[in-house]
Amino acid sequence: MSRRLGGGVGVLVCLVAACLHGVKLQGAEPAEVIYSGGDIVTMDDRQPTAEAVAVRAGKIVAVGSLQDVLASKGASTRMVDLAGRTLLPGFVDGHGHCFMVGLQAVSANLLPPPDHRINDIASLQAELKAWATTPVSRKYKLILGFGYDDAQLHEQRHPTRHDLDAVALDIPVLVIHQSGHLCAVNTRALALAGITAESKNPQGGAIRREADGQTPNGVLEETAFFQALLNLLPPLGEVELDALAIAGQKLYAANGFTLAQEGRSNPPTDKTWARLAEGRRLLIDVVSYPDFNESDTPYGLDGEWHSQTLKNGYRIGGVKMNFDGSPQGKTAFLSQPYLVPPYGRNATYRGFPTLTDDEVLRKIGLCYERGWQFLIHCNGDSAIDLMIAGVKAAQARHGHDPRRRDVMIHCQTVREDQLDAMQDLGIFPSFFGMHCYYWGDWHRDSVLGAERAERISPSASALRRRMLFSQHHDAPVALPSAIRILSSVVTRRTRSGDILGAGQCVPVEVALKSLTLWPAYQHFEEANRGSLEVGKLADFVVLDRNPLKIPILGLADLKVVETIKEGRSIYTAKQ
């Protein structure tokens, strides 16, 4: 075939494909269900809206005008009237910890308003005392709380061991900070974890001390917290582990998510997801990324679950690393000092890395050698520098493969020059845009100062470079609410109503793509989900209104009415 003829055929194929896009092909089996009667937002630029969508065998078989889609209708086709509501692709998790959401669900709820009611030490203590009477606490002889935020407590500090001793002296009390990077424990828990005045700070962590500079005050940062958590949590059997995973999935589904990420998993979690997948008990799809900080041979990377193809709704996608902590907890690794240093730190304090420079280079190099996708948690700009340097070194040795999709998680304080470098290296950013609402005021007044705070999660800067990016909730750090993410990245309004960096706001359509199509790309799933196109999974979320047609200040009030996984309703809101 001549080049000219071949080119002509290529053009013809493209024209035919464009004409047939979204149209049901003749001769196919009839649809099982057709959705119509409301707005349908496809996230497909070639056909941004539709009047109807048809589904068969868990996949979309037609999308377009009602007249065209009705060609898929058969005698047994079920017609679903959206009743003026809006159907979109199911939300895709840019980053979260689905299993830990289940753990949060069975712990004492220490979240501040508007998600709960904990706003001072006294209310925190009362909540823990009430939870101590539950069967879970009595069975495991442990008081566990999740979600307190010192930035929202009246005292503007972390609870100490003395505060928690007032809850219980004879059993351990452990409360996890909302960031998931710190905790506070009582004296009994310190003893059980083996933490004394003689204990040294572990690599990548810190044990906060009392005024004498030696006695632990009960607050543990980063690796000190993770080590204590492993020592204090009781061993759980398969029944309990399965229940936690399922509870996490249910909360994700209630928020419109049809794919969840298990970021920085461990062997028990991955075994749980695999067991549920084998038994076909998964409610939504899960992609897991085992921890690569602690071991060079993470669980599952040499097994059948490590794949780019889901098996019964589960797979291991690669590995996860953490290069620093959290800005709201003041453990992120910054290039400039914190505006107000945390307790026990001096004015030059700027956080710390969790891995050495040499370890960063070695770990990223191993991922390139082994062909593993990786996610790297980088909040502070100095941590971001570490990742950029590591990827540059790996690409200098192994070449730049655009198919890799290395992912930077959070990117909170990423600078403009760093975004340029990320674009050159092909690093995909996943922003934690909800920070604008939850911690925007705290970042402005205590963590970063106004100038740096106005650039947290700079989505518009990435958009101006035409970079693809995702947004995430990092649940259980925040509730897995795509609606809160949507509102936060479009308005950048804080709890107090301040607009934090208006120049970083993005349009609603862009925000929706960062919750659907672009995180699907991040997970190598763009051929299967993220937009409403023929051949993709029938994964949908139904909202009470169309986010593209309401005032942006009303976005936070949108409601998930229904979540549909492969044509099957898995969540329906109570009327």
Residues 74 and 159 in one domain: no
Residues 61 and 31 in one domain: yes
Residue 51: Cβ within 10 Å count = 18
Domain that holds residue 54: 19-84
Residues 106 and 224 in one domain: yes
* Residue 393 resides in a domain: no
Q: Residues 216-241: what's their mean pLDDT?
A: 95
- Asked if residue 114 has a cis previous peptide bond (ω within 30° of 0), the answer is yes
CATH (domain of 39): 2.30.40.10
In which band, very low, low, confident or very high, does the pLDDT at 12 lie, cut at 50, 70 and 90? very low
Q: Distance between CA 51 and CA 41 in Å, rounded?
A: 9
Domain count along the chain: 2
Q: Distance between CA 543 and CA 348 in Å, rounded?
A: 48
Residues 104 and 75 in one domain: no
Q: What percent of the chain has pLDDT over 90?
A: 94
The predicted-structure confidence for 146-156, as pLDDT tens digits, reads as follows 999 999 999 99
The predicted-structure confidence for 95-120, as pLDDT tens digits, reads as follows 999 999 999 999 999 999 999 999 99
Residues 126 and 71 in one domain: no
* Residue 185 resides in a domain: yes
Q: Residues 217-240: what's their mean pLDDT?
A: 95
191, 206, 232: which is the final residue of a domain? Answer: 232
Residues 54 and 110 in one domain: no
Q: Is the dihedral of CA 189, 195, 201, 207 positive or negative?
A: positive
Residues 44 and 150 in one domain: no
* Residue 350 resides in a domain: no
pLDDT at 342: 94
Residues 141 and 225 in one domain: yes
The predicted-structure confidence for 497-544, as pLDDT tens digits, reads as follows 999 999 999 999 999 999 999 999 999 999 999 999 999 999 999 999
The predicted-structure confidence for 261-307, as pLDDT tens digits, reads as follows 999 999 999 999 999 999 999 999 999 999 999 999 999 999 999 99
pLDDT at 575: 73
Q: Is residue 401 a contact partner of residue 369, using CB atoms and an 8 Å limit?
A: no
Q: What is the 3-state secondary structure (H, E, C) of 253-302?
A: HHCCEEEEEEEEECHHHHHHHHHHHHCCCCCCEEEEEEECCCCCCCCCCC
* Residue 149 resides in a domain: yes
The predicted-structure confidence for 176-197, as pLDDT tens digits, reads as follows 999 999 999 999 999 999 999 9
DSSP tag of 64: E
Q: Residues 160-171: what's their mean pLDDT?
A: 98
- With a cut of 60, say whether residue 127 has pLDDT above it: yes
Whole-structure pTM value: 0.92
Residues 25 and 129 in one domain: no
In which band, very low, low, confident or very high, does the pLDDT at 13 lie, cut at 50, 70 and 90? very low
The predicted-structure confidence for 300-336, as pLDDT tens digits, reads as follows 999 999 999 999 999 999 999 999 999 999 999 999 9
Q: Which residue, 455, 489, 456, is CA-closest to 94?
A: 489
The predicted-structure confidence for 425-450, as pLDDT tens digits, reads as follows 999 999 999 999 999 999 999 999 99
Q: Distance between CA 293 and CA 360 in Å, rounded?
A: 9
* Residue 476 resides in a domain: no
* Residue 514 resides in a domain: no
Sequential DSSP letters for 554-569? GGGG--EEEEEETTEE
232, 267, 288: which is the final residue of a domain? Answer: 232
Indicate the average pLDDT of the chain.
Answer: 95
Q: Distance between CA 342 and CA 203 in Å, rounded?
A: 19
CATH (domain of 217): 3.10.310.70
Residues 104 and 70 in one domain: no
84, 113, 129: which is the final residue of a domain? Answer: 84
- With a cut of 70, say whether residue 19 has pLDDT above it: no
Residues 32 and 131 in one domain: no
pLDDT at 439: 96
pLDDT at 213: 96
* Residue 526 resides in a domain: no
pLDDT at 415: 99
Residues 54 and 151 in one domain: no
In which band, very low, low, confident or very high, does the pLDDT at 28 lie, cut at 50, 70 and 90? confident
Sequential DSSP letters for 158-177? ---HHHHHTT-SSS-EEEEE
pLDDT at 27: 47
DSSP tag of 151: G
* Residue 218 resides in a domain: yes
